[in-house]
Structure 1
Amino acid sequence: MTEATGTPAVRTEERDAVFVITIDRPEARNAIDGTTARALTAAIDELEARDDLVVGILTGANGVFSAGMDLKAFARGDTPVIKGRGFGGITRTHIKTPVIAAVEGYALGGGTEMALACDMIVAARNATFGQPEVHWGIVPPEGGMVRLPERIPRNIALELLLTGDALPAERAQQLGLVNHLTDPGEALTQALELAHRVAQNAPLAIAAVKRVVNERTAFRDTEALCDQDQYVTPVLDSQDAQEGARAFAEKRPPHWQGR
């Protein structure tokens, strides 16, 4: 094990062949702004560049995975999307190393989308997933609309996407979204145990398994994400999207205009 390193917003730590990436913005419930997205991108690049790292874990500090996009930063014109890499530098990146999401507390909006971009999910029983974007005049363009219907039944995914309702971890496991449930505070411990069970195997075999399994969906996901942009961009550029962000920042109900 090595000493944790990284930026104030993102910490990294090596646990033998496992690379733990921790989002650490407790003042914003680990919401992602531009600075955090760039730090996550750098952490993923380090994971991918090093042959001695076999498995990655993405988690959040202080009992929260991520509240998603920092809407206050978005209202100021800051973006958590890295060109060509997606939300947090993760959601549109083809990561060759297996990555496990260790989820405590909220994983909402882009938080759910980052978890969906991981290969496996370990969640505490108090964890909550959800795509609440419709509440704020936007949509989940970084995998929510593409990956969620592939991971759980389509009709359930549509209900969650159209209502913005939350998905508790126990229900998420019943639907097949979550691999393992843990007691609160134990998601990272369980994810590390799972990661070390993977990491003890032959690196070339691990890489081949991930490549074969993911190539069945990676191209389709990439194509679908690009295709959806023609519908998503007008929504994200709309006056309603700006109104939703302002309403969130001002803690008031939004007033929709449909434009």
Structure 2
Amino acid sequence: PRSGQVDLKNIIFEKAAIATLTVNRPAALNALNREVLEEMARVIREVRHDSSVRVLIVTGAGDRAFVAGADIAAMSKMSAVDGLDFSRLGHRVMESFEDLPIPVIAAVNGFALGGGLELALACDLIVASEKARFGQPEINLGLIPGFGGTQRLPHRIGHNKARELIMTGEMFDAKTALELGLANQVVAPGDLIESARKLAEKLAGKSAVAMRQAKAALRAAFTMEEDAGLRFEQEAFGVAFGSADRVEGTSAFVEKRPPNWQHK
């Protein structure tokens, strides 16, 4: 089923228990401009307020690019004030992906450069095609990553390698992304969406209550000092413990049967 939003020009949004957001500007290699970012924000709002959506898959249209970056043609005409505004918009959108209570999987089919890598970094898990290419090439434009790359990349792959990639602006392949711990899986191009869906189905088979708490606590590991994060985990554990799903999950284990989640 398609979304009821007829005004999405640059995004295809298929709403279901496993929903798919496809950036659809293949002629521009799915580059992110203001309009695309604003449409993404609208889709995320819709997903956020619909508890029937259990997992979100994010991908790019065509076979060449996931998202090849921010729209450089648009950026070349921007003033300094416009540039700052564009960065702020990008940050808001990337944060909205991280703040979703459900898991988000990036299915990276081709180029994930600049804002494209930053979008993948805002997702929980990355499934990459063997044809995927990653990088933060902003330094080559006299810029730096502006949608969170300088903060999220070091957290994902460590400071040493992140410094090298951001300072050289060099691209790296899917195999390297897997070795760096950036990609979770690398699969043949023809298997990409099916592999992402298989992973999504595995996640959708868990308790939505526990998943929400797991994602929130994992996010705390990125945003909080360790002692605060450990306290956050205790509270999140307590919330999960108070759920009907915890009663069902522990009972099912003891009774040696599969759990029947109520997602509450």
Q: TM-score normalised by the shorter chain: which range applies?
A: 0.7 to 0.9
What corresponds to 2:43 in structure 1?
43
Change in CA separation of 1:5 and 1:176 when aligned onto 2, cut-off 3 Å: farther
| Pairing 1:81-96 to 2, within 5 Å after superposition | 86-87=90-91, 89-93=92-96, 94-96=99-101
The 8 Å contact of residues 102 and 208 in structure 2, kept in 1 or not, is answered as no
DSSP-derived class of the 1:134 partner? helix
The TM-score with structure 1 as length reference comes to 0.78
What corresponds to 1:135 in structure 2?
140
Q: Which structure shows the higher helix fraction?
A: 2
What corresponds to 1:72 in structure 2?
73
What corresponds to 2:232 in structure 1?
none
Deviation at 1:208, TM superposition (A): 1.1
Q: Does 1:156 align with 2:155?
A: no
DSSP-derived class of the 1:186 partner? helix
Deviation at 1:185, TM superposition (A): 3.3
Deviations 1:136-160 (A, max 9, x none): 0110032211111111132211111
DSSP-derived class of the 1:92 partner? helix
Change in CA separation of 1:125 and 1:81 when aligned onto 2, cut-off 3 Å: farther
Structure having greater relative contact order (Cα 8 Å, sep ≥ 6): 1
The 8 Å contact of residues 37 and 89 in structure 2, kept in 1 or not, is answered as no
The 8 Å contact of residues 33 and 79 in structure 1, kept in 2 or not, is answered as no
| Cα-Cα RMSD | 2.0
What corresponds to 2:189 in structure 1?
184
Q: Does 1:58 align with 2:53?
A: no
Which sections of structure 2, spanning at least 5 residues, go unmatched?
226-264
What corresponds to 1:3 in structure 2?
2
What corresponds to 1:251 in structure 2?
none
What corresponds to 1:165 in structure 2?
170
Over the matched positions of the two proteins, sequence identity in percent amounts to 36
Deviation at 1:84, TM superposition (A): 5.8
Which sections of structure 1, spanning at least 5 residues, go unmatched?
221-259
The 8 Å contact of residues 37 and 82 in structure 1, kept in 2 or not, is answered as no
| Pairing 1:226-237 to 2, within 5 Å after superposition | none
Residue identity in the other structure for 2:208? P
Using the alignment, how far apart are the partners of 2:199 and 2:12 within structure 1? 21
Residue identity in the other structure for 2:45? D
The runs of 4+ residues in structure 1 deviating greater than 6 Å are 78-83
Using the alignment, how far apart are the partners of 2:188 and 2:12 within structure 1? 23
The alignment of Structure 1 onto Structure 2 pairs a total of residues equal to: 217
Deviations 1:54-92 (A, max 9, x none): 1111110002100111011122337696686535x5323
The 8 Å contact of residues 32 and 80 in structure 1, kept in 2 or not, is answered as no
Q: Does 1:147 align with 2:171?
A: no
Change in CA separation of 1:136 and 1:83 when aligned onto 2, cut-off 3 Å: closer
